[in-house]
Structure 1
Amino acid sequence: MNLEIPDGLGDLLRDFTVSVLREKPNDLYDYAVEYFTTARDTRRPKEVPMYIIVDSDEEAGEPDPKMFQPKNTRNRYARRQSVSAERYDPEEDDDDDDRVVHPKTDAQRERLTEAVSGILLFRSLDSDQMQEVIDAMFEMKVKPGETVIQQGDDGDNFYVIDDGIYEVSVNVKGADKSVHTFDNRGSFGELALMYNMPRSATVTAKTSGTLWAMDRNSFRRIVLKSAFKKRKKYEHLLENVTILQSLDHYERMTLADALHPKIYQEGEAIIKQGDDADGIYFVEDGHIRITIDNPEGSEQEIATRSTGTYFGELALIENKPRTANVYAVGKVKVAFLERECFERLLGPCVDIMKRNSQLYTMYVGK
């Protein structure tokens, strides 16, 4: 199936994403209804600043949208046809010849692995895909005052910071206004690649530094295609989980986006009795065994589970420590949902989970 992204969809989703990040609504669904209802009624174009992916400990400074002129008065940074005309279909098979590999020393690979470890965009990638990311990135040395990306230019690369200080600025009525500073960590440049839009800000090196860059085609082939495949794979997994049948398609799709993979080897503990409950696990592939600790120090096996089942939800529901151990039998791949996402996304299923808890073998799922 050949899917073509409708004109304006990227701008609409980008505007909504930035609005959510700025307002931080308590109820995302109510906020979405209000936001899109207002957007439908007003039909006025908006200008939004570049959303900057940073480490979870940092918060990107975003400019006040009032700084931006109406779209019909801004000609300098109008969307270029060469960018907006591009279409990327994640369902199409990529040619293996498109894979880019930039040779690196062991020291470079170690530094790059550390630099990308906290990047949110890469969170859903498996180990093979992360190796593709590392292969595809190339090292860039920058000098103080050097412009890395220029507002209004076409997007060419995605950047991950190895070291150095970088200033983000936007041009407002002919004057540059600083909106954020990266200090030796973070990443930028993804929006122009994801949404076929010109650069919405300028990034300038304030000190000497090192960046890791990935070209547009590699970024789309690895990051966007993997995100598409991940959603489809997890949607199919969740469709087969009986307890989630009460979720509608949109809720299941949102849940699929929030899951991220974890792999465990033979005999490895996935959860340990007494640990704090950090999330719920869905068995994507493989088998697990569940045990409880006996007073004399031994363990008693009480159940086994396989693909399409889940565990860990009861400790979240009851807000108690784990009351059982779960071990991998052979290689096991699970999809993990963090506690915060569980509480936000699985609200409709919690009552059903509570009612069904008595149907489980004692301690199964905890």
Structure 2
Amino acid sequence: MATENAVDKAVRRTATALALFKKHSSTNATTLTREQLESIMTELAATRDGEQHVATYLKGAHLEQDFFTFEGLVTTYNAYVEWLLSGHASQPSAAAPEPAPAAPEPTPAAPEPTPAETTKLELAAQKETPAEAEPEFKPTPAIEPATAPEPEPEPEPEAEPEPGIVDVATAFAAVTDGDVDALEAALDAGVDVDAAVDGVPLVCAAAGSDSTDLMELLVERKANVNAPRSADGLTPLMLAAAGADADLVEMLLHHGANASLQGAAGETAEALAPNGELKALLGEAANGMGMMNAQQLAAILAPKSAARRVSVSAESIDPTKQMLAPKKVIDKSDEDRERIRATLMRSFLFKHGDAAQTADLVNAMYEVRRPRGVDIIKQGDREANEFFIIDAGECDIIKGTNEDGSERRLVTLRPGAVFGELALMYNTPRAATVRAASDEVVLWAMDRESFKAIVLVQTMQKRLKYEAFLEEVSLLQGLSSYERATVADSFVEVRYGAGDRVIEEGAEGHDMFFLVAGKAEALDKENVVRIYEKPGAYFGELALLNNEPRKATVRAATACELVALDRAAFERLMGPVVDVLQRHEADYALLTPRGSVAAQPAATAQAAQ
């Protein structure tokens, strides 16, 4: 019975050790510092005597390393148990005049392993038991044992957390749990978006999660997407590549992650990627310095006289001329259109486009057929004129050669795969060869000019249009130009005729609206209580802010042009102005009393905005 109990304790203690390791190792770090190791061992020892013994043991152990893996924690703790059971602990504790007799039950002076062998955490470490049974091994309040009074308050080995540390820990815990709301709350509370714990930045922690939403929030708060972990120099892009997370890789590239950076051991994101498709993508990105961020997009679309970033080799295009160029419409069946649309919506580069842009992309694509063995694109080719979607058949990605001189096949692409789009953004050589591997491969292709006219020009025109508009919205004055551009990219244009209802009182709220042109009015029981007529006036935010039904009806008094920000974009992007919105909530109570029959003067209503 005693042996069985000891094994149980070992299993539970290992589960606790694993949970504590995850807690102390800053989410995705794989190592502990010496201080973290001591803290975990103290919690495992679970008594004040244990705290003294752990500190004494670690001082005399002369540990060589500064960082410890989970296995290192297990080994060190087992060695500590051996040391404790061999009676060494009784000699150094002369400083405390209370030797704590070994007989009393309440809290033993050390962890309760009966035979040393069964106490060893190795037994359970192999099982990696889930961290459920923490209760018995939480640090039992170090307030007892109530024997002799302590000689003196015994200096605590660790000081109280400094202000802000707890918030940073909360942010890292939110990333661990995949909790976007909690992370956003921590950032709103003042946690630095580039905060790091033990050399691990938040962006690196997020790169190891399965949630692109976490990373999207961090990059929208202007986190440094190239911030490395101090221990190994790995960047978020390298970590995402090593985890084979294609969506996260595409997102990071889109936000300016540099694929040519190297870790401490010289590794690149391309080298760490486990599959050929990711390797090819990262290789192409390394040649082109990554996908376009906001500044690069502006550089591509800027007039030729404007300064441009030297890291991006892109031809200049005139947005005005491109806007006037006729759009291509290639005949295809409804089934073909739906397959192309569904494929584009899976690509991070295209899935955030509006319905009109997606329709233009689908219209402009044309069918291409290639027999087996034909190279669709060639590595090193500087004339990158098309990007492709595979509709039927398979293609091999080939890059470089093997040691015997044969071509090195990285991966096989199947229907639904998209390739070649990055090269259309940059004047850079193709990073790999893509070769038809079926008797016949059916593809949908788009040429460079159509791509630029639809994707680059439309995106920039929309951004330029709404960035200027947003500069006049008093609510958003506190946002940076980058943040306003991000809001502009998320806008969806909507139009209403005179008399149309934009929102209904009591309905569930999904969007916030900004007035671009026209006139709208808020109603209470069919009485007009507020008028919106100045461009930049907004409404509909209360339902999103408080997660409650609409409090009033808003209808178009004249034909109206509006832009809508949906709930997801609102929660992601409007954090910096939430306090302003909350202050304005009180204004609503003053300006729109229930039962009011007179509309507020336009000037008063706009002042409230």
Bucket of the pairwise TM-score, normalised by the shorter protein:
0.5 to 0.7
Distance 1:165 1:352, change over 3 A: farther
1:326 aligns with 2:577: no
Out of 342, 359, 362, the residue aligned to residue 570 of structure 2 is 342
Q: Which has the higher helix share?
A: 2
Distance 1:282 1:52, change over 3 A: farther
Partner of 1:288: 520
Partner of 2:386: 157
Aligned-pair distance for 1:226? 1.1
> Which deviations, in whole Å up to 9, do the C-alpha atoms of 1:5-53 show, x marking residues without a partner?
xxxxxxxxxxxxxx99955436226773362689xxx9x9x9998x978
Q: Which has the higher strand share?
A: 1
Contact persistence 2:512–2:539 (CA under 8 A): yes
Aligned-pair distance for 1:247? 1.3
Q: Within 5 Å, which residues of 2 pair with 1:59-70?
A: 65-67=270-272
TM-score, normalised on structure 2?
0.42
Distance 1:135 1:273, change over 3 A: same
Contact persistence 1:166–1:182 (CA under 8 A): yes
- Structure 2 segments unaligned to the other structure (5+ residues): 1-203, 251-258, 260-267, 274-282, 289-311, 403-407, 595-604
Range moving further from structure 2, 201-210 or 266-275: 201-210
Distance 1:244 1:160, change over 3 A: same
User: Structure 2 CA distance, aligned partners of 1:167 and 1:20?
Assistant: 35
Q: Within 5 Å, which residues of 2 pair with 1:15-26?
A: 24=212, 25=215
SS at match of 1:317: helix
Out of 194, 204, 209, the residue aligned to residue 425 of structure 2 is 194
Partner of 1:244: 476
SS at match of 1:139: strand
Aligned-pair distance for 1:86? 4.9
Out of 121, 131, 141, the residue aligned to residue 350 of structure 2 is 121
Aligned-pair distance for 1:233? 0.8
Aligned-pair distance for 1:239? 0.9
Aligned-pair distance for 1:264? 4.0
What letter matches 1:279 in structure 2? D
Distance 1:34 1:52, change over 3 A: closer
Sequence identity (%): 29
Aligned length: 315
Higher relative contact order (CA 8 A, sep 6+): 1
1:354 aligns with 2:582: yes
Aligned-pair distance for 1:277? 3.0
- Structure 1 segments unaligned to the other structure (5+ residues): 1-18, 57-61, 69-73
Partner of 2:444: 212
Aligned-pair distance for 1:356? 1.4
Aligned-pair distance for 1:354? 0.4
Distance 1:21 1:170, change over 3 A: farther
SS at match of 1:35: coil
1:28 aligns with 2:210: no
Aligned-pair distance for 1:217? 1.2
Partner of 2:57: none
Aligned-pair distance for 1:256? 1.9
User: Structure 1 CA distance, aligned partners of 2:495 and 2:502?
Assistant: 9
What letter matches 1:240 in structure 2? E
Distance 1:177 1:308, change over 3 A: same
Contact persistence 1:67–1:172 (CA under 8 A): no
Aligned-pair distance for 1:237? 1.3
Distance 1:282 1:29, change over 3 A: closer
Contact persistence 1:166–1:203 (CA under 8 A): no
Larger Rg: 2
SS at match of 1:350: helix
SS at match of 2:333: helix
User: Structure 2 CA distance, aligned partners of 1:328 and 1:53?
Assistant: 40
Partner of 1:234: 466
What letter matches 1:158 in structure 2? F
Distance 1:331 1:37, change over 3 A: farther
